Structure 1
Amino acid sequence: MSIHGFSKPLTRTVHTLLAAGLAAGSWPTLAQDEAPTHLETLEISATALKVEAPLVETPRPASVVTEDELRERNVQALDETFRYRAGVLSGHYGSDNDTDWFKVRGFDQATYQDGLRIYREGFYQWLPETYGLERVELLKGPASILYGEAPPGGIINAISKRPTDTAQGEIQVQLGTNDHRQVALDTSGPVTGSDSLSYRLVGLYRFAEGDIDFTENERYYVAPSLTWDLSEDTSLTLLTSFQKDDAVPYNGFKLPYGTVQDTPYGKVDPSTNYSEPSYDTNERTQSSIGYSLSHRLDDTWKFQQDVRYSTLDLLLRSSYILYQTGPREGARGLTYRDGTLDSWTVDNRMVGTWFTDRTENTLLIGVDYQDLENKGLEGNDYAFGDPIDLFDPVYGNFTPLSRDDLFRRTITKEQTGLYLQNQLRLDDHWVFLAGVRYDQAKTDNRDHGTGERQRADDDHVSFSGGVMYLADNGLSPYVSWSDSFQPIAGTDSNGNLYEPRVGQQLEFGVKYAPNDLDGYVTASVYNIKEENSLVTSPGGYQVQEGLRETQGFELETVAYLTDRLQLNAAYTYNDAISDNRSDDEPETPAALIPRHMASAWLDYAFGERVPGLKVGGGVRYVGGTRDGTIEIPSYTVMDLMAQYDFMRHWQARINVTNLADREYVASCDYWCYYGEARSVVGTLSYRW
């Protein structure tokens, strides 16, 4: 593994980078009489700077979840990844099988895979399969300097499993509650008869019912990849994937009436389904092909290129509760989508590294291009079928949507970005980071039935900067600034294009990773503002006078307290407000966003006392929220894990989520959503 910008680093940095390289190329193993793998790998990220660097020596807020943790916590969906990290809210819409839902520092985020944007338009949701990932990285706050158009919450980057130089493999079987069953295969190693080719094949079948009655999801997934070492200086990795989901969609929509509000008929059961299970469907097929190229030109410069083409086919019929019509009845709506989403993304980077006796300098120059086309038939019925009983629903009283009720829409997006970033390390104590980016983004949204067209055509310049001091005792204070922008397709009442939403973050923090601590501790305070939000004027028009702001504090640690005992702990304070400046209403708390969140996970490897046994458990607290005048109480849930390595190649594990099967409302935002029910999953793995 090459080391960018740290050719004369501290010994600890070299060790960290080498450990990460070894972890990426071999199975995470735990011999029955050995201590667990240490945590240096958690400090490596390529997302924060687009060059690999230790997180503890980067003046940007970021977190990493490795394959070990994904495996041990049995992470089944991307939005379960950061449950034990600061600043991230997930699960606020319940156990949804349609979308990965995140809020980062009170805002939406953008999702990337292997450094390239995953486009998600409306209901066309690309869902990364977590069994196919080797780690997931999170860059918190505005990140347009490196990634272009994005909300101010941040960037989540899912890193796919890659071929390995040594032969290895796994066969896995899972059984669990909600009729959960899964069979998976992961095999990798050198291609027979070749010194320069290595492969990896990851495949999976999964079926599970949902927490809501009559919902389910069946998934087929396969991801072949191939690495070709063309020379000592050049490497090419081909990445492909195919995934098919057939589901009865999970519509967690409930009304406040019967969830957080009392009724004469009691509470609505969390498993109540207001949809039409025999009619609703979510058939999604997603496939991609791309490559990652790395070529070292000389001792100073390296060229890197990532390219991916992806396509998603969707047929969605999804009915849901709309509003209350009587003491125990409600009207329903229907969403219908039948179309495709195709996208090309390419990112070209030149990385230059040079040194003097006192400095180490890393210069990043990049050009990226993103192109999207989303087209298909759409329908929205806001009077779907007869009213349904809120407490004892009866299905079948509806008329299916006909093709005459549908209209055709085409959305195209195109973005080109040029970015420049420089990182200077001075005297092994100071790190200076500065970057600038220019973007040209165009969006066109056409309704072919009415001829209506919404456009956005924006040029934008983003900035980023940071300063960090690396003290000898492992304490590294820093300050950073970053920007974001997000185009808005549409025009105002005068026919003028809206300005893009823009965000800024100012952060002060400290990262602590002394030599005698196997892990890290981070703390930060931040302020994020998003301007140009759309709000409704007194005349009923959408105007750009909205402001959303978050002031927060985060504390996070991932560390071994002893050779056997590991702790993940996080605390988040978020004061998120929305300000509709078009009227005289006061600032209001942002819906969905709790002011306080906290979590802690401990796991313990018994070692020689009980060879091969490891147990873990966690507690997650999410504070109360408000939706207008509606108060949503806080909740606390517990998770458990136990795994046992027996014989030479076998491992058994059990994971329990929401141990006490607590019934709670996770959030309200017009609708209310029950949180995830208890799940129990057993896993048997054979690894070689």
Structure 2
Amino acid sequence: MIYQDSLTRAVVLISAVTIPGIATAETTTLSFDIASQPLSSALIRFSAISGLQVLYEGRLADQIQAPALKGTFSAEQALRQLLQGSGLSFRFSNASTVTLDKTPAAPAPQSNGTATMPAVTVTGQGVYDTASPYNKDYALPNATTGTKTDTLQFDTPVSVQVIPKAVIEDQQAIGLENVLKNVSGVAKNWGFGADANENIYLRGFANGINSVGNIYRDGVLTPNMPISLANAERVEVLKGPAAMLYGRAQPGGLVNVVTKRPRGDAYYSLQQQFGSYDTYRTLLDATNKITEDGALAYRVNYEHLDSNSFRTNIYNQRDFLAPSLTWHITDKTQLDLDFIYQDSRSIADSGIPYDQQLSGAIPGKIPLSFNGNEPTDYSNKRSYQQGITLTHAFTDDWKVRAKFSALVQDNAAAQTPSNETTNGSGDIARGFLKNATDFDNKYGTIDITGRFATGPIQHNVLLGADYYNSTDKHFSSPYRTAVPTINVFDPQYGFTGFLNDPLRLGNIEHNEWYGIYLQDQLAWNDTWHLLLGGRFDNATYRNSFGDKTDDDYFSPRIGLMYHPLDWLGVYVNFVKGFNAFNSGTALNGSSYDPEQSREMEFGMKGNWWSGKLQANLAFFELTKKNVKSPLPAPFSDYFVTIGAQRSRGIEFDLQGQLTDAWNVIATYTYIGAVVTKGLTGDFTGVGGTGDRLENIPRNTASLWSTYDFSHLGAEGLSAGAGVYLVDSREGNVNNSYEIPGYTRVDSMLRYRRKIGPSNVTFQFNVENLLDKEYIASANGYSQFIHQAMPGAPRTFLGSVKVEF
């Protein structure tokens, strides 16, 4: 779609001089109707439509005939077609400027003075398309998480799903849980209410250790923290073991939040959200160049969140500030500086003893708002993260990137967890624990990437090394059991007897690992794509109790993609993973082998309408071994690593545009996740052989779709709706009770209009429109199996956003 007022304001010159203040298109999906003509003339028309400057030397484009271009494309897709067969390639010098370069194969002149060349593959960085603040695409062509290179998803023989900024904005997602509901293979994990959005299952396995979510931000591990989406450009989810590129990680997959970067053109937005349970969220996004030539640019993202809950005494408050700088030192060297400050204040939530209601031990229905924790409980986390990235291009094909990040966290918590019933009238036993942690980690990586050819085979090589070091100091008070019970039907609060217990330094944990990895992406005629990679890791762990591990591991990955048709890809991959360390004490005094995993995956990818609509169908089998479990009494202080688990499944994803006005994102997942080797008895930690893994539904499905009514005469009006289906799940590792499935419906209504120089958006979202009562997840482990978390009832969220 072309906005007429934007076209009339766009004055673009094709020259070698950068002109500030060029207007950007309000969307990267644009209508082009350019007749076949000299390329120089066609580029002038392209610039007027897209708002991009196109720079080249002298009369480089005068003697080249451009093909006709008619239809709806992104700016990058349109430029690819205009340059097809020209012998020219393009690169983004900054967010609003494209530079044309000659490729080694020069065009041969014909008798009519124009050049006609066979079709060539032109590769651009896609910076403008994916990072424009006005980008409304539901499908993005490239991803970096799966290969650590900017690669077309359609050519990559692994499963990577990208949730772009447009989906995040349409659904008004505040936490990661609201984003990941659009991703196949994702299930809700337990998190005591605090960090609940970060604790998930991917392909049947938890993404963290002991329900502590491990999320990556720009490829850097950011553990133990609630993740703000205030500076999220997109969320990329890599399915299956990620150890080959990222080292020690859980086998189900990896979630990477890609952040917004500074831009050379001015953009400012202020958004105020307000909703149910006294929810107020303020967002600020500001970016512009600092120097006249755009070599130095900044971006600042800010969030203030203040929200209560349908759960009694539960709240969530957050302040988030993320300034960043980008300095183009030369046209080949770039320096990025990032800083993130976050202060999160919330409260632990033990949920409800849902299984006791099912068994009849508690007579009647437990109110979904019941919370056994005291209002004086707290869970506060403050963090400071700094990052520096230096990128240098030796040539157009070879570059090096060095990145260093440091994270410091101060965490403090006091909780009065409730668990099981003590009588038939609904009284529940409670305890009290107060703790704190001082956590810091350092991460460094250096990557060298290069492109070259050996005969007809194109190579994209990655050689890298990384280093990770963390120290986690734990402080705690004694666990108290002399806490008054609380009744689920008539809770009485006010107990603070142990709130002033002093903290003492306890366990100190040290994690350290380094890895070296090599990857090659080989391509034959854009039909065959082979991915080869391997990584060597050394990882050590030690703590104050004398536990030590020192593990070496080699993680290979191989994948093959075949395109029998232009729109179809068929792929297969095999990967092995190096997972969590196993600390603790063995009966014979030896250390434990680490968790290990392997996966075989077969799939198909579809790509239609120049990448505007994408689909992925995957069949996988993922196994995990060396799962640690406590031994039964009288050896309950000891562990054994006999556990083994398997997850087999089918995933289907469809996302993109069905028409210019109609967006869709849909998923389906089937997972059979079971224990293949376990222990018998209560609270074994791994379950018995044949048991289903907790919280993992066999079937899940989702559908979210939006429609823009502007072309029907209702300019600026759009609406959306979604449905989310979750099958029944086991409530704990021993399969002693089942959580029922549910269906939830969400909706959205939005109106945009231009007021003066600003774009103003009014938006209203409803989550759980039909007010369905359901259980979202359960703790499921050891003595805490009586804790389950209800899902939120009907929730409203409104928003006013101003952009200029």
Q: State which of 137, 151, 176 in structure 2 corresponds to 1:53.
A: 151
Q: Structure 2: which amino acid aligns with 1:603?
A: T
Match of 2:471 in 1: 373
Match of 1:423 in 2: 521
Tell me the alpha carbon deviations over residues 511-536 of structure 1, each in whole angstroms, 9 at most, x when there is no partner: 01134673111101100000001134
Q: State which of 326, 331, 334 in structure 2 corresponds to 1:227.
A: 326
- Given that 1:67 and 1:135 are in contact with CA atoms closer than 8 Å, whether structure 2 keeps it comes out as yes
1:290-301 map, 5 Å: 290-301=387-398
Match of 2:133 in 1: 27
Q: State which of 401, 418, 428 in structure 2 corresponds to 1:321.
A: 418
Distance apart, 1:275 and its partner CA = 0.6
Match of 1:449 in 2: none
The answer to whether the aligner puts 1:660 opposite 2:770 as a matched pair is yes
The answer to whether the aligner puts 1:454 opposite 2:547 as a matched pair is yes
Match of 1:641 in 2: 748
The answer to whether the aligner puts 1:550 opposite 2:654 as a matched pair is no
Q: Structure 2: which amino acid aligns with 1:27?
A: P
Q: How many residues align?
A: 663
User: 2:643, 2:517 → 1: CA distance?
Assistant: 29
1:483-562 map, 5 Å: 483-485=576-578, 486-515=580-609, 518-537=612-631, 540=636, 541-562=638-659
- Given that 2:188 and 2:777 are in contact with CA atoms closer than 8 Å, whether structure 1 keeps it comes out as no
Q: 1:94 to 1:413 in 2, by over 3 A?
A: closer
Q: State which of 482, 485, 498 in structure 2 corresponds to 1:400.
A: 498
- Given that 2:698 and 2:727 are in contact with CA atoms closer than 8 Å, whether structure 1 keeps it comes out as yes
Distance apart, 1:403 and its partner CA = 4.2
User: 1:85, 1:163 → 2: CA distance?
Assistant: 28
Tell me the alpha carbon deviations over residues 235-272 of structure 1, each in whole angstroms, 9 at most, x when there is no partner: 1111111111222x140422135544446641111111
Q: State which of 449, 461, 486 in structure 2 corresponds to 1:388.
A: 486
The answer to whether the aligner puts 1:674 opposite 2:759 as a matched pair is no
SS at match of 1:470: strand
Tell me the alpha carbon deviations over residues 166-194 of structure 1, each in whole angstroms, 9 at most, x when there is no partner: 10010111111010112221100101445
Q: State which of 708, 715, 726 in structure 2 corresponds to 1:605.
A: 708
SS at match of 1:456: strand
SS at match of 1:608: helix
Q: 1:306 to 1:264 in 2, by over 3 A?
A: closer
User: 1:382, 1:416 → 2: CA distance?
Assistant: 40
Match of 2:266 in 1: 167
Tell me the alpha carbon deviations over residues 406-431 of structure 1, each in whole angstroms, 9 at most, x when there is no partner: 44221111110011111100122100
> Unpaired runs of 5+ in structure 1?
30-36, 447-451
The answer to whether the aligner puts 1:147 opposite 2:250 as a matched pair is no
Match of 1:182 in 2: 281
Distance apart, 1:677 and its partner CA = 2.4
Q: State which of 289, 300, 305 in structure 1 corresponds to 2:402.
A: 305
Q: Structure 1: which amino acid aligns with 2:724?
A: R
Structure with larger RCO (C-alpha < 8 A, sep 6+): 1
The answer to whether the aligner puts 1:593 opposite 2:696 as a matched pair is yes
Q: 1:289 to 1:219 in 2, by over 3 A?
A: same
User: 2:104, 2:604 → 1: CA distance?
Assistant: 23
User: 1:284, 1:583 → 2: CA distance?
Assistant: 38
- Given that 2:313 and 2:374 are in contact with CA atoms closer than 8 Å, whether structure 1 keeps it comes out as no
SS at match of 2:565: coil
User: 1:13, 1:337 → 2: CA distance?
Assistant: 58
User: 1:226, 1:473 → 2: CA distance?
Assistant: 40
Q: 1:458 to 1:522 in 2, by over 3 A?
A: same
User: 2:725, 2:415 → 1: CA distance?
Assistant: 32
Q: State which of 734, 738, 759 in structure 2 corresponds to 1:631.
A: 738
Larger mean CA deviation between 647-656 and 516-525 belongs to 516-525
Match of 1:470 in 2: 563
SS at match of 2:385: strand
Q: 1:460 to 1:47 in 2, by over 3 A?
A: same
User: 1:287, 1:91 → 2: CA distance?
Assistant: 26
- Given that 1:311 and 1:343 are in contact with CA atoms closer than 8 Å, whether structure 2 keeps it comes out as yes
Q: 1:108 to 1:138 in 2, by over 3 A?
A: same
Q: Structure 2: which amino acid aligns with 1:606?
A: F
Distance apart, 1:559 and its partner CA = 2.6
User: 2:348, 2:727 → 1: CA distance?
Assistant: 25
SS at match of 1:659: coil
Distance apart, 1:97 and its partner CA = 5.2
Q: 1:95 to 1:663 in 2, by over 3 A?
A: farther
- Given that 1:656 and 1:679 are in contact with CA atoms closer than 8 Å, whether structure 2 keeps it comes out as yes
Q: Structure 1: which amino acid aligns with 2:561?
A: M
Match of 1:34 in 2: none
User: 1:414, 1:138 → 2: CA distance?
Assistant: 25
- Given that 1:517 and 1:560 are in contact with CA atoms closer than 8 Å, whether structure 2 keeps it comes out as no
Tell me the alpha carbon deviations over residues 554-574 of structure 1, each in whole angstroms, 9 at most, x when there is no partner: 111003222211121110000
Identity %: 27
- Given that 1:349 and 1:366 are in contact with CA atoms closer than 8 Å, whether structure 2 keeps it comes out as yes
Distance apart, 1:157 and its partner CA = 0.6
Match of 2:83 in 1: none
Distance apart, 1:395 and its partner CA = 1.4
Distance apart, 1:382 and its partner CA = 5.0
Q: Structure 2: which amino acid aligns with 1:639?
A: D
Match of 1:353 in 2: 451
Q: 1:87 to 1:257 in 2, by over 3 A?
A: closer
SS at match of 1:86: coil
Q: 1:507 to 1:13 in 2, by over 3 A?
A: farther
Distance apart, 1:316 and its partner CA = 0.7
Q: State which of 38, 44, 48 in structure 1 corresponds to 2:142.
A: 44
Q: Structure 2: which amino acid aligns with 1:245?
A: S
User: 2:535, 2:719 → 1: CA distance?
Assistant: 47
- Given that 1:95 and 1:676 are in contact with CA atoms closer than 8 Å, whether structure 2 keeps it comes out as no
User: 1:605, 1:259 → 2: CA distance?
Assistant: 46
- Given that 1:456 and 1:497 are in contact with CA atoms closer than 8 Å, whether structure 2 keeps it comes out as yes
Match of 2:337 in 1: 238
Distance apart, 1:21 and its partner CA = 1.3
Q: 1:151 to 1:2 in 2, by over 3 A?
A: farther
Q: Structure 1: which amino acid aligns with 2:163?
A: V
Tell me the alpha carbon deviations over residues 283-328 of structure 1, each in whole angstroms, 9 at most, x when there is no partner: 2111111122211112432101121111111111122112221112
User: 1:12, 1:97 → 2: CA distance?
Assistant: 49
Q: TM-score, normalised by structure 1?
A: 0.92
Distance apart, 1:96 and its partner CA = 4.7
Match of 1:618 in 2: 722
Q: 1:43 to 1:384 in 2, by over 3 A?
A: farther
Larger mean CA deviation between 350-359 and 55-64 belongs to 350-359
- Given that 2:533 and 2:556 are in contact with CA atoms closer than 8 Å, whether structure 1 keeps it comes out as yes
Q: 1:635 to 1:261 in 2, by over 3 A?
A: farther
RMSD over equivalenced CA pairs, Å: 2.3
Distance apart, 1:405 and its partner CA = 6.5
User: 1:570, 1:380 → 2: CA distance?
Assistant: 46
SS at match of 1:68: helix
- Given that 2:325 and 2:337 are in contact with CA atoms closer than 8 Å, whether structure 1 keeps it comes out as yes
User: 2:449, 2:609 → 1: CA distance?
Assistant: 29
Tell me the alpha carbon deviations over residues 189-215 of structure 1, each in whole angstroms, 9 at most, x when there is no partner: 101445310000111211000231121
Q: Which structure has greater strand proportion?
A: 1
User: 2:104, 2:291 → 1: CA distance?
Assistant: 38
Larger mean CA deviation between 89-98 and 584-593 belongs to 89-98
User: 2:475, 2:389 → 1: CA distance?
Assistant: 34
